[in-house]
Amino acid sequence: MTGASPSWSGPAGWWVRDYSVPATPTRLTTKDDVALVGHRIGAGDVALVFCHGFLGWHRKPRLVTFQEELARWFTVFSFDFRGHGGSGGRSTFGAAEHLDVEAAVRHAREEGFERVVTFGGSMGGIAVLRHAALMGGVDAVVAVSTPAQWDGHESAAVRRMTWLAATPSGRWFLQAFGVRVSASWEWVEAPAELVSRIAPIPLVIVHGRDDHFFDEENAWRLYRQAGEPKRLLLASRFGHGEDGYTPRFAGQVCEVIRRSIAAFIAP
């Protein structure tokens, strides 16, 4: 489905970047009737559904640059999660965002792609793991900087994020910056409780050893619980999520995805 360019509201709308490559705007509707906006770029034979993190949006300048790098090898389908940017609804911090991923995957399939890969960082990583475990229908999954459990994180960054999400003042601040969150959180399975269901879909877990949100043990826990085929990539000086989204990392993503597809999926 295609449509006009998304309309942005709030300060997030002041900090967007247009694509420097041909881009087709898309409008999606989730199974629970949330309207999402996004874009399609690139002309690769494999579709990559790109999922941003909490407080992100698909036209954030750094994310646009990274998507354009990925589009050298893939056709990239990106979108704003519910409650973010130009999309409707309210963010559920990963509990329902797998439905957003499914809308984008379904759209890529409708566009004729036989191979569809999902890629998500932080909250986007939660969403792609939950999507693959609960709904399937993809050919590989890449989860970056993804927590294994909901609690037990002692970092200052997580404490700040908890304040933003859990207090009226924090939620007001988020809304002022174009992010609308649910006032309550529905308890769902933690990523580590679901990750074993993803196999035999190839899974790649990426984590920065200097992640200031979630420590390295989160990646190891996800990896131990996951079934084969799986890969764990640990990187120094990577940071959290989009901090590590460099042209070099885009090339590494392409290589590991194509090897996973070639090794574990019959042509």
User: What whole-number distance in Å separates Cα of residue 267 and Cα of residue 261?
Assistant: 9
Residue 89 lies in a domain: yes
d(CA 208, CA 215): 8
DSSP output for 123-168: HHHHHHHHHHHHT---SEEEEES--SSSS----HHHHHHHHHHHSH
Query: Does residue 183 or residue 188 have the better pLDDT?
Result: 188
Q: Using the structure block, give the residue that is written with the tokens 């399937």.
A: 136
Length of the chain, please?
267
* Residue 264 pLDDT: 64
Q: Inform me whether the pLDDT recorded for 63 exceeds 90.
A: yes
Higher-pLDDT residue of 187 and 82 is 82
Residue 195 · residue 225 · CB < 8 Å: yes
At residue 161 the predicted structure's pLDDT band, cuts being 50, 70 and 90, is: confident
**H-type alpha helices, the chain:** 61-70, 98-110, 123-134, 156-166, 168-176, 191-194, 216-225, 247-264
Q: What's the mean pLDDT in 2-6?
A: 35
Task: Give me the CATH number covering residue 235.
Answer: 3.40.50.1820
Phi, psi torsion values for 195, nearest 5 degrees: -60, -25
Residue 126 is part of which domain span?
20-264
- Distance between CA atoms of 181 and 266, rounded to whole angstroms? 41
Residue 265 has pLDDT above 80, yes or no: no
In a domain, 13, yes or no: no
- Tell me the pLDDT band of 191, cut-offs 50, 70 and 90: very high
User: Is the per-residue pLDDT at 3 higher than 70?
Assistant: no
Q: Is residue 6 part of a domain?
A: no
Q: Band the pLDDT of 2: cuts 50, 70, 90.
A: very low
Rounded-to-integer distance, Cα 261 and Cα 60, Å: 29
102, 135 in Cβ contact below 8 A?
yes
Predicted TM-score of the model (pTM)? 0.92
pLDDT score of 168: 84
Q: Considering the domain boundaries, does residue 250 fall inside one?
A: yes
The pLDDT of residue 134: 98
Domain count, the chain: 1
Residue 249 lies in a domain: yes
Res. 15 pLDDT band, cuts 50 70 90: confident
- The answer as to whether 181 is a domain residue is yes
Q: Is residue 110 part of a domain?
A: yes
How confident is the model at residue 10, as a pLDDT? Answer: 43
pLDDT given at position 8: 43
Look at 15-19, 64-68, 134-138, 182-186 and tell me which has the smallest mean pLDDT.
182-186
Question: Is 15 a member of any domain?
Answer: no
When pLDDT is cut at 50, 70 and 90, the band that residue 153 belongs to is: confident
Q: Give residue-wise pLDDT tens across range 193-247.
A: 999 999 999 999 999 999 999 999 999 999 999 999 999 999 999 999 999 999 9
CA 103 – CA 79 distance, rounded (Å) = 10
Residue 54: the pLDDT is 93
Q: Across all residues in the chain, what is the average pLDDT?
A: 91
Q: What pLDDT score was predicted for residue 6? A: 39
Look at 103-107, 172-176, 179-183 and tell me which has the smallest mean pLDDT.
Answer: 172-176
